[in-house]
């Protein structure tokens, strides 16, 4: 966990950092400063010093006497009082901090080494989820759609590394949306495949143990939870995802929706995805046409609750 945000790997760190920054610059002026230094704390913890430098120096087009981007002095004063973080050590003066960030700009992405992400193998055949989800849909969804997200994600990360090396702040800012969208698509689909399993391997079997008890406590019953997820998934306008998540702060289960390929972390920094259902048309249209509710009804026959139980057991401690 970093800065109160749960991340599993480098790709998750990048997405979470960009989401924090995007949220910060879209908040009202009164809350913007706090949101921005929260984003910078997170970036500092994961080594994205070049991104911090951009936040501190990026000019704004917004009209207000006081600039929305924090000064180095304000950043340091906030950082020393930031709650729920390990409070990494920072230099004692703004000049020293500026010097440190300048020296470490090349460390952010370059020394981590450019990672190339690849399409994960499915733990089952394309046709193994029939009749709930057709083999044709699974093949297109996995081999074409997910692969496209990975290809574009790798391309954007490569461009980002080049832009960082050149100090091209304009390109770095422009690449944020591509990294968030395609990186989010890769993360979300990687979870989605694990959330599914053939009936013969336990697909659709209701959850027991601690997760089953938590569902009863938070929603009343599994049936009520399923109805809530189906209802919110069907009502989601456009494309996106519907999630069952664990709020690590409140220790409660929540149902959330996210637009496009936004990961669940965009709806709450303490949320861990237990179950995610893709409600983009490419996930169901070839089989269910425009009847999304039928797709949502039938997908429960192949839901892998064992995976959700495993994640819940690790994250609820």
Q: How far apart are CA 275 and CA 68, in angstroms?
A: 37
CATH T-level topology, domain 126-194: Helix Hairpins (1.10.287)
DSSP letter assigned to residue 68? S
| Mean pLDDT per 10-residue segment, the chain (317 residues) | 40 56 49 51 52 48 39 40 37 42 41 72 97 98 98 92 85 88 95 98 95 98 98 97 97 97 91 98 98 99 98 93
pLDDT of residue 239: 97
Outline which parts of the chain fall under CATH 3.55.40.20.
199-315
Outline which parts of the chain fall under CATH 1.10.287.990.
126-194
Cα-Cα-Cα-Cα dihedral sign, residues 226, 15, 282, 291: positive
Contacts of residues 71-80 at CB distance under 8 Å and 24 or more positions apart, as own/partner, are 72/97, 72/98, 74/33, 74/37, 75/37, 75/40, 78/33, 78/34, 78/37, 79/37, 79/40, 79/41, 79/44
- For 3, 16, 17, the CA distances from 186, given in Å and listed in that order, are 23, 14, 16
Considering the domain delimited by 199-315, tell me its CATH architecture.
3-Layer(bab) Sandwich (3.55)
Its pTM stands at 0.70
pLDDT of residue 60: 42
């Amino acid at each position: 966990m970093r800065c109160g945000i749960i991340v599993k790997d480098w790709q998750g760190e990048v997405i979470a950092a960009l989401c924090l920054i995007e949220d910060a610059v879209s908040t009202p002026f009164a809350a913007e400063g706090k949101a921005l230094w929260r984003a910078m704390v997170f970036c500092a913890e994961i080594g994205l010093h070049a991104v911090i430098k951009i936040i501190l120096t990026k000019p704004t087009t917004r009209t207000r006497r006081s600039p929305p981007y924090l000064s180095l002095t304000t950043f340091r004063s906030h950082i020393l009082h930031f709650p729920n973080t390990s409070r990494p050590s920072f230099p004692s003066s703004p000049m020293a901090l500026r010097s440190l960030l300048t020296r470490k700009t090349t460390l952010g992405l370059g020394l981590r080494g450019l990672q190339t992400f690849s399409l994960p193998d499915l733990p089952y055949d394309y046709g193994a989820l029939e009749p709930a989800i057709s083999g044709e849909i699974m093949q297109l969804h996995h081999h074409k759609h997910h692969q496209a997200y990975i290809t574009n994600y790798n391309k954007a990360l490569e461009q980002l590394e080049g832009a960082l090396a050149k100090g091209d702040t304009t390109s770095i800012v422009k690449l944020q949306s591509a990294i968030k969208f395609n990186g989010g698509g890769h993360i979300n689909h990687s979870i989605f495949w694990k959330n599914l399993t053939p009936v013969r391997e336990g697909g659709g079997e209701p959850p027991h143990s601690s997760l089953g008890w938590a569902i009863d406590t938070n929603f009343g019953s599994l049936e009520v939870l399923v109805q809530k997820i189906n209802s919110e998934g069907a009502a989601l306008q456009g494309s996106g995802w519907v999630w069952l998540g664990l709020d690590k702060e409140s220790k409660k289960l929540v149902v959330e929706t996210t637009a496009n390929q936004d990961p669940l972390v965009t709806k709450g920094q303490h949320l861990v995805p237990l179950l995610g259902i893709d409600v983009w048309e490419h996930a169901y249209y070839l089989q269910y046409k425009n009847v999304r509710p039928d797709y949502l009804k039938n997908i429960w026959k192949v839901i892998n609750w064992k995976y959700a139980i495993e994640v819940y057991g690790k994250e609820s401690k």
